[in-house]
Amino acid sequence: MVTVFCLALLIPCGVARGAGLDQAVQHLDHQLARLQRDPNMVGLSVCAGTSSGIVYQRFQGPRQRGSRQLVDADTRFRVASLSKGFAATLALMLSGEQAVRLTEPVTRHVDYFQLKQPDQSARVQLQHLLSHQVGLPHYAYDKLLEANWSPENIIRRLDRVDMTCPVGTCYGYQNTAYNMMTHVIESVTGESFERQVENRVFRPMGMSGTGFGKDHLVQDDNWARPHIGRYHRLRPVDVKTNYYQLPASAGVNASADDMCRWLAGQLGGRPEVLSQELLALSRAPRVETRRELYRGRWRRARVKSAHYGMGWRVYDYAGEPMVFHAGSVQGYGATIALLPERDVGLMALWNSETSRPWAIVPTFVDAYLGLKPVDWMKLDELEAAAGTSRHTGD
């Protein structure tokens, strides 16, 4: 199923927008049709948009392998680490109201938080949480979360972890430490983190199908089941709940329709909710993330510099400023990319662990920028293998 339209004008997108966007949408649509042949794909939701709204959507595949129930605009997926952008947004809203200061020490709100170097603990500020500059190694104690430890017990154990650098001087991606923002926000507002995000972000943005936790995900039948494995071993599995314990880091579920609204807001289309000042603060480069330059083919080829802001990655993509984030949790993948200076963005959600959808972003952005086409999703390889298999079976 493919839907292509412009919300604001209700006329063909190529008429309303420049040739770059029109050509990029056509190219992406063709490539996604090819991607559908990947035997490791199940369901997929994709949208491209501007600050004015959606210009392109495509939904393909079932909510569960073998089912006749297809993914649509309202099908809920887990967005995993894209959740961090919502937490940072709320923190910046509260900072703008002077309800909290980004330079406040975390220990003011989480008194049991300690690092191995005692003098460093009080130096960790809220802005360090939101930009992954706590001084801890990447993914500190995520394995304990996988083993069903509670976030509080994990935080209480951080004083045993060797630090990689002094606070505020290097990048180390965190999930459990980042989630301390939930405690900060609850101590400041007197309400649950989830309710604050729902009332101050989701509802004002019109994101009526977005929420937190497993119960929200499975509240009715229109949700994408997670799948693991490959080929004949590809199968649906139970929803993994560990990371739902970290609502600020990985707790959000959303539909394509809602994530398209989020995308438009991030491009400046909802200034009454997401002010230009807030957007600028969230994506201001705060720490260099050099390892991003080597993660996968398209980053090595296209990304010339990489930083983290607050809840967002900031790339130089072939000379073009890009705001980006990706996330995964067992059986789900999610990605979002914005070209703020071009007023265009793209997001994708899927419910299997195939690697090809991770290259949807560069496939679209290259076409939009007019760069030399590269088969980032390895679709030629996919089709060649399928052709060989058909020939062998004759």
pLDDT digits (tens, 9 = 90+) for 325-335: 999 999 999 99
- Predicted TM-score (pTM) of this structure: 0.93
For residue 12, pLDDT over 90 is answered with no
Arch. (CATH architecture) of 2-87+192-393: 3-Layer(aba) Sandwich (3.40)
Per-residue pLDDT tens over the stretch 259-299? 999 999 999 999 999 999 999 999 999 999 999 999 999 99
At 7, is the pLDDT very low, low, confident or very high (cuts 50, 70, 90)?
very low
pLDDT one-digit tens code per residue, 43-99: 999 999 999 999 999 999 999 999 999 999 999 999 999 999 999 999 999 999 999
Closest CA relative to residue 364, chosen from 327, 334, 336: 336
Helices (H), the chain: 13-16, 19-35, 83-96, 118-121, 126-130, 142-146, 151-156, 180-189, 193-197, 213-217, 247-250, 256-264, 276-282, 297-302, 360-369, 379-393
Find the mean pLDDT for residues 212-229: 98
pLDDT tens string 363-380: 999 999 999 999 999 999
Q: Of all residues in the chain, what percent are helix, strand and coil, respectively (each to 5)?
A: 40, 20, 40
CB 279 within 8 A of CB 268: yes
Maximum alpha-carbon separation in the chain: 71
Instruction: Say which DSSP state 55 is in.
Output: E
pLDDT in tens, 101-153: 999 999 999 999 999 999 999 999 999 999 999 999 999 999 999 999 999 99
What is d(CA 142, CA 149) in angstroms, rounded to the nearest whole number? 9
